[in-house]
Each structure stands twice: as structure tokens, then as C-alpha cells.
Amino acid sequence: MSLTGALNAARSGMSTTSRWAQTTSSNISNANNAAYSRRTTVMESSASGGVTVSEITRAVSSSLDGQYRDEVSRTGTQDAIATGLSLYTSELGDTESDSTLLTRLTDLQSSLSLAAATPSDSGLQRAAVTDAQELADQLNSASEKLGEASDTALDAINTDVAGINSALADLAEMNAQIASGKLSDSQEMALGDEMTAKLDSLAEQMDFTLRTDSKGRVEIFTTGGTALLQGEVATEISFDASTGVLSAGDVEITPGVSGARGISEGSLAGQISLYNDIIPEMSAQLDEVARALVSVMEEADASLGAGDAGLFTDAGDALGDPVEAGLAGRIAVNSAVLPEEGGALWRLRDGMAATTEGEANDATQLNAFISALDSTTSFDSSVGLDDSATLAGYMSSLIASQNSTRANAETQAESYAAGAMTVQETRLGFMGVNVDDELQQLVTIEQAYAANAQVMSTVLSMLDTLIESF
């Protein structure tokens, strides 16, 4: 090799190691940045015998990215359901709790039995009426908590929709920057990191499929195939609370709807499932408890005429046909047995429509109430529970089923979160920065730089000697 060739090779080596050092330093400085993908300097030999940087690449695995986002979306779905039901199920209690619909019913049955043993005792009548009020209040409170859960779910849906639209708009702008051709290599890689972080965040709210077009721009579709982002155009997502329909432009993408070409996972899917399906079914089950309670007590009351209300009422009225939704929130004890509302306690013994006080020791009506609460009655099986059971049995099934819905979602959320963490560890191992490796590279870079510098120094010394010889 000529002295000039050696000088050029050493100079190119020093230039290459300088860029290599910059890349390695950047890696080390971003070692704790989860959104940063490790840069790798790719070098190749030049025709003149030197070395040049052919490219600097980002460590990216589309397979690991996709697996991680899938797990994150599934976690988001179940976490939304579990969190959305937590306050309601706390109010509902479980089969081991001291204060539930079931314990309130048991208290009422016990107090009615005591009153039947001593029908003339107004104190025992008062206790039974109080227990009836507490049972009605428990149903009212549970219904209210479900209503609050529904409102919270709707707020979360609107927040997620706004967040998704914002993320899609940001990604569309990033696509425009990529397509402009004006970005330097370092700017394009930094934008790639930003885009990865944005897509990871989007996966928490919804699942999606991802493609890259010929210009390097990302294209996003629902898992059902509806386009959300193509090129630099994002499709706006919207939710109609009155119909429960989620749309991308004019295409329905509601999760769980057959043929909707929509999303199926993510916090948005979980909240919509709560709002459209889970909470309405739970509310209908509570209404069935209230309906059966009103109905059996009406049927057991011999004093009632057509249209008269029994011990339990629909906001003061007899049970309607059909029953309007939300009965659990309206059920109340008949004012006919409430002294504070102009009623009389003895009507618990004689019947709600009794106009005069009956025989003080006659427990016939009280025993009829007790029998009614113990009897098997019919329920609407379309709301997801038994079609025939005692009130106590139905309440027990309701409490167990609704707590199970929340507990199962919580368990699945934890399982998916563990899966996401496992994939993320592998992903970070691939794309993340190992500081020890980078420091070792710095040692190699230092050695390469020193060797090239020594070559240049030697060549220059030899050139000086040659010049001095003339």
C-alpha cells in the first residue's frame, strides 16, 4: 500500500470510529429510556482499502412489538372491566359479607318470624318494617352504584376515543415527516422511537394491526380490517352513547358485534363491554330481585284489591305490567306501614290495604308473608341467572355471579400483564441498551482510533523524512 493509501485508510478509520463513538455514546445516554431503540453502526470496506459507515440502524423486532402490544391490549380490556366494577361489587358484598342483599333478606325473614310469634307486639312490627326498609335501601344503593359505574364507563369511553383520535393524528403527522424526505438519519431514527412509543400507548386503548407502506409510513387497521390510518390521513373514531355504537368514520367497529369489522381488545373495548353489556345485564338482574320481591309480597297480601300496592312498592305504586327498567332503584316500603308517613305498623299484621285494625293475636297474614319469601318463584332467565329459585337462592346466585365477573376480569388482567412483562423483557433485551456491551465497544473504539492515529503519525513522519531528503 502506498503512503497516500495508508494515510487515506487511517483517515477514514478515524472518521468511522468517530461516528461509531457518537452512536455508542448516544446508546449509553439513553440506556434508561424505554422508548429508545439501540443504534448499531454498520461498517464496510471501501475500494481504497479504508472503512466507511454504510448505515446506522435501529434495533427493532416487529414480531416482539406485535406480541407486546397484543398482551397490553388484552390487559387493558380486563383491567377496565375489573376496575369499572370494583366500587359496585364492594357495595354489593360477597357471600361472606355481613351486609348484602341476602343478609338483609334473612334479617327480614327473621324479624317477620318474631312478629308472627307475638302478633300484637308493635316493637317487633317496627323491627320488621325497618328490616324491610333496609332491604329496599340496599337494592336502591346497589342500583345507584351500577348507574355510577355506567356513567364512569361512558366518561372513560369518551376519554379513550379522544386519546385514540389524538394519537392517530400525531401518527399521521409523523407519516408526513417520514414521507417528506427532509429528515436526517438521526432525526428519522428519533422519530422512529417516538412512533414506537406512540403505538405502544395506543395498544393500551385498542388492539390493531400494523403495516408499513413503500415510503416507510405506518398504516393502522382494526383487527377486523377497518382502516384507521393510511398515509397521512387518519379516520376519526366516535361513540354514540344512545346506541352504544363505536364508529370509524361511517364504519361500525363496535367490539363484540358480529360483522362490525371492529376492535376486540384494549381499555376502550373493555369500557364499551361494561357500558353496553355487563352493567345492563347486572342492572336487569337487580331489577329481577326487586320485581320478585314486590310480586311475592303483593300475591301474599290478602287485603289487596286490584291496583293496590303491597309491602314493597314501585316508588309507592303497585307493580306495573310490563315493569319499567330500573325498579331496583325505585323499590320502597309501602307508606301504609310507616307511621312517619301517616301509616300504621299494625298493617304489617293485617295487610297493606286494611282500613281497620284486626285481631291483635292473628298471625295469618304475617305467616303468609314468611311463606311467600321462602317459596320458589319464577325469574326471567334472559338476564343470565336461574329461571326458578327462592329469593334467597336467586340473591345468592346474583352476588356470586356478579362478583365472579369482576374477579375473573381481575385475574385475567394480572395474567395478561405478566405475559406483557415477559414479552417486554425479551423485547428490551433485543432493542434496549446493555451498558456493559457499549462500554466494551468504547474500549474497542478507543483502540481503533489510537491505531489509526498511530498510522497517520507514522505516515506523516515518513513523508517528512522523504521531503527532508530532497
pLDDT at 1: 52
Cβ proximity of 452 and 17 under 8 Å: yes
Give CA–CA dist 69/247, Å, rounded: 22
Q: What percent of the chain has pLDDT over 90?
A: 70
Amino acid symbol at 246: L
Is a pLDDT exceeding 60 seen at residue 67? Answer: yes
Q: Counting every residue, how long is the chain? A: 470
Checking if the pLDDT of 84 tops 80, the result is: yes
Per-residue pLDDT band for 459 (boundaries 50, 70, 90) equals low
pLDDT of residue 398: 96
pLDDT, tens digit (0-9, with 9 covering 90-100), for 262-287? 999 999 999 999 999 999 999 999 99
What is the identity of the amino acid at 447?
Q
| Residue 41 DSSP label | E
Task: For residue range 429-452, list pLDDT tens digits in order.
Answer: 887 777 777 778 777 777 766 776
User: In the predicted model, is pLDDT for residue 246 greater than 60?
Assistant: yes
Residue 455 predicted with pLDDT over 70: no
Give the C-alpha separation, 337 to 426, whole Å: 68
Grade residue 49 by pLDDT with cuts at 50, 70 and 90: low
Per-domain boundaries in the chain: 3-59+433-469
Q: How far apart are CA 374 and CA 365, in angstroms?
A: 14
Crossing angle of helices 101-117 and 364-374, in 10° steps, is 150
pLDDT tens per residue across span 317-335: 999 999 999 999 999 999 9
Q: Is the pLDDT assigned to residue 6 strictly greater than 70?
A: no
Q: Find out whether 300 and 371 touch, Cβ atoms under 8 Å.
A: yes
- The pLDDT > 70 percentage for the chain reads 92
pLDDT attached to residue 439: 77
Q: What is the dihedral of CA 137, 138, 144, 150, to 10 degrees?
A: -160
Which pLDDT score is estimated for 399?
94
Helix (H) or strand (E) holding 221: strand 218-221
The tens digit of pLDDT for each residue in 368-392 reads 999 999 999 999 999 999 999 999 9
pLDDT digits (tens, 9 = 90+) for 132-153: 999 999 999 999 999 999 999 9
Q: 21-35, 45-59, 285-299: which has the minimum mean pLDDT?
A: 45-59
Does position 411 have pLDDT exceeding 70, yes or no?
yes
Q: Check pLDDT > 80 for residue 467.
A: no
- 62-92 and 391-431 helices cross at what angle (nearest 10)? 150
Task: Residue 367: name the closest of 134, 119, 104, 124 by CA.
Answer: 119
Residue 441: half-sphere exposure toward Cβ, Cα within 13 Å = 21
* Rounded average pLDDT over 82-100: 88
Cell 318470624 identifies what position?
113
Average pLDDT score over residue span 105-123: 97
Per-residue pLDDT, averaged over 182-193, amounts to 87
**Distance, CA of 452 to CA of 458 (rounded, Å):** 10
Question: What's the sign of the alpha-carbon dihedral 280, 281, 283, 284?
Answer: positive
What CA–CA distance (Å, rounded) separates 159 from 331?
A: 34
